[in-house]
Amino acid sequence: MFKKVLVANRGEIALRVIRACKELGLKTVAVHSEVDAEALHVRFADEAVCIGPANPRQSYLHIPAIIAAAEITGANAIHPGYGFLSENAEFAEVVQKCKLTWIGPSPAAMRAWGDKVTARGNAAKFGLPMLPGTGVLESAEHALSEARRIGFPVILKASGGGGGRGMKIVRDEASLSAAFHTAREEAMAGFKNPDVYLERYVEKPKHIEFQIVADKHGNVVIAGERECSIQRRHQKVLEEAPSPSLSQESREKMFALLQRAARETGYYSLGTVEFLMDERGELYFMEMNTRVQVEHPVTEMVMGLDLVAEQILIANGAKLLIEQSKLVPRGHAIECRINAEDPRTFAPSPGKITEYHPPGGVGIRVDSGVYGGWRVPPNYDSLLAKVIAHAPTRKQAITRMRRALDEFICEGVKVNTELHKRILDAPEFQKGDVSTRFLEQLLG
C-alpha cells in the first residue's frame, strides 16, 4: 500500500488529484516549474519540489527530475494526470523500475492501446467497428496507393499521438504528397515518432467516447459515454454526458464490446475509447486514451463516481465495487472549458488575474487551479477552469450553465466565456444535433 503520491502535473488536474488523495488519506507531493512556484496545486499539496525552469522539457517532461523529487520526498506512487507524460510508456516503466507505483495502466497496455496503428489492430480483433484505413505508411507513393483504395477524402493521422498534430485532411491526389510529408514532420516534432496512417474521412461526424474503469482482477465496467463534438481544430471545447445522439441499442452493444476488449487484453485503470459517428448514426473506432480525460467530471456528475479516486484505488490493488447494472445516468451534465485566450483570435492571453470569482449554486462545479492575483504563464496550455453544470434534464443543464457563465468573473486576462454562451444559445446545440464542424460554421 502506498501512502504518499507525487502528482507529475500542474494546474487544475494536479489539484484534482491532490483532492482525491487527501480524501483517501494519502499524503501528496506537488512538483512545479520556477514560474509555477505560487500555483494553487503547490499551495495545497503537503510538500512541493521545484523541478526546473518554465520550459516543460526541463521540468514537467524531465523524467529524472520527477523521479528525483519522488526519492527526496519519500513518495511511493506517481500520478501523471493528463497531458505531459501521462501516456508515455517509458516514463511508466522508469517509475516501476524505481520501485514506485504507477497510477495508470501497465506500460504494455499503454503501448498496445496508445499507439494508434496498434490500437486499430486491437479494436478490429474485438469486433469494434472500423473506418477503412491503413497501417503505417512507408512513403508518399504508398499513401497515394492506399488513398486510391480507400477513396477520397482521407485523413492522415499520427500513429504516436493526437490533439490535431500530424493530422491532415486530403481531398484529392494532387495534395497528398505534401500533406504526407507535413504530417510526418508534425508527428516527429510532437511525439518523436514520424509514423502516420490513413483513414477514410467522415465530413460531418459526431465525437462520442466511452469511459472504461477496470481493476487488476478482471472486473470491467463502462461508466457511460460523453459527447465531445464541439471542437476547434480537433481540440475539445465543450463536452456533455450522456450523449444526446446515441441510441440505447448502440450504447448497450458498445458497452459489451468494450468490456470484452479491456478484459481480454488485461487492461486496468481508467481508459477512454473514442469513436466517430457518421450521418447514419454508425460508430467507428478512432483511438483510445490510456489516462484520465480532461472531461471526466461530466461522467462523475451523472454517474455519482469519483473516477480519480477509483484510479488511485485500482493502482493500490483494490477490487472494483461498482456494478455495471447500477451505472445508470442521473440527469445530464455539461462542461465548458474556460481558456485564457482572445475570444476573437483564440490567441493565448497570459498575464496577471486581477479579479477571480467562479460561479456557484445548485448543480455547479468548478475545477480550477487559479486565483485572483495569480499570473497565468505563457508557457503552458491556456486552460484556466472547467465549469460543470448538472441538472435533471439536458435543457435544464443548458439553462444552468448559461447562468453559471454569466456569474463567471475573471479580470486581467481575456477568457472565452462569450464563445460558450454563443454555443449554448445556438438552436442546433439546443436540439443536440451538432457535428465536429459545428463551431467552424458558427464562427463563420
Grid coordinates belonging to 176: 497528398
Residue range 367-388: average pLDDT?
Answer: 97
**Residue 322 pLDDT level (bands cut at 50, 70, 90):** very high
175 and 215, same structural domain? Answer: no
pLDDT at 164 over 80: no
Q: In the prediction, which pLDDT does 117 show? A: 86
Model pTM? 0.92
177 and 279, same structural domain? Answer: no
Helix, coil or strand: residue 325: helix
**Residue 343 pLDDT level (bands cut at 50, 70, 90):** confident
CA atoms 429, 431, 436, 440: torsion sign: negative
229 and 171, same structural domain? Answer: no
Q: Which residue has the cell 483570435?
A: 345
Is 110 part of a structural domain of the chain?
no
Among the candidates 180, 200, 220, a domain finishes at 200
pLDDT at 165 over 90: no
Render pLDDT for 97-150 as a digit per residue (tens, 0 to 9). Answer: 999 999 999 999 999 998 888 998 999 999 999 999 999 999 999 999 999 999
The CATH code of the domain that includes 184 is: 3.30.1490.20
Contacting residues for 115 by C-beta, under 8 A, at least 6 apart: 159, 160
- Is 233 known to be catalytic? no
Phi and psi angles of residue 17, each rounded to the nearest 5 degrees, phi first: -65, -40
Q: In the prediction, which pLDDT does 305 show? A: 97
Q: In the prediction, which pLDDT does 166 show? A: 85
Is 115 part of a structural domain of the chain?
no
Render pLDDT for 171-206 as a digit per residue (tens, 0 to 9). Answer: 999 999 999 999 999 999 988 899 999 999 998 999
Render pLDDT for 262-320 as a digit per residue (tens, 0 to 9). Answer: 999 999 999 999 999 998 899 999 999 999 999 999 999 999 999 999 999 999 999 99
216 and 182, same structural domain? Answer: no
308 and 270, same structural domain? Answer: yes
pLDDT above 90 coverage of the chain, percent: 94
Q: Which of 291, 337, 365, 400 is catalytic?
A: 291
pLDDT at 444 over 90: no
Is 264 part of a structural domain of the chain?
yes
Is 112 part of a structural domain of the chain?
no
Return mean pLDDT, the chain: 96
Q: In the prediction, which pLDDT does 191 show? A: 87
439 and 354, same structural domain? Answer: yes
Among the candidates 170, 200, 230, a domain finishes at 200
Using CA atoms, how far residue 428 sits from 67, 133, 324, 367, in Å, is 48, 31, 32, 27
- Structural domain for 157, as ranges: 132-200
**Per the omega criterion (within 30 degrees of 0), is the bond before 153 cis?**
yes
186 and 290, same structural domain? Answer: no
Q: In the prediction, which pLDDT does 1 show? A: 82
Give dist(CA 132, CA 365) in Å, integer: 40
Q: Which residues lie across from 269 on neighbouring strands?
A: 214
The CATH code of the domain that includes 332 is: 3.30.470.20
Q: In the prediction, which pLDDT does 192 show? A: 86
Q: In the prediction, which pLDDT does 429 show? A: 98
Is 51 part of a structural domain of the chain?
yes
47 and 32, same structural domain? Answer: yes
296 and 179, same structural domain? Answer: no
Is 262 part of a structural domain of the chain?
yes
Among the candidates 200, 224, 256, a domain finishes at 200
β-strand 355-357 against 409-411: which pairing, if any?
Answer: antiparallel
Type and span of the H or E element at 179: helix 176-191
Is 177 part of a structural domain of the chain?
yes
Is 178 part of a structural domain of the chain?
yes
Render pLDDT for 221-256 as a digit per residue (tens, 0 to 9). Answer: 999 999 999 999 889 999 999 999 999 999 999 999
Using CA atoms, how far residue 4 sits from 18, 69, 79, 264, in Å, is 11, 12, 11, 32
**Per the omega criterion (within 30 degrees of 0), is the bond before 242 cis?**
yes
Q: In the prediction, which pLDDT does 342 show? A: 93
305 and 244, same structural domain? Answer: yes
The total number of structural domains in the chain stands at: 3
The CATH code of the domain that includes 69 is: 3.40.50.20
372 and 397, same structural domain? Answer: yes
389 and 426, same structural domain? Answer: yes
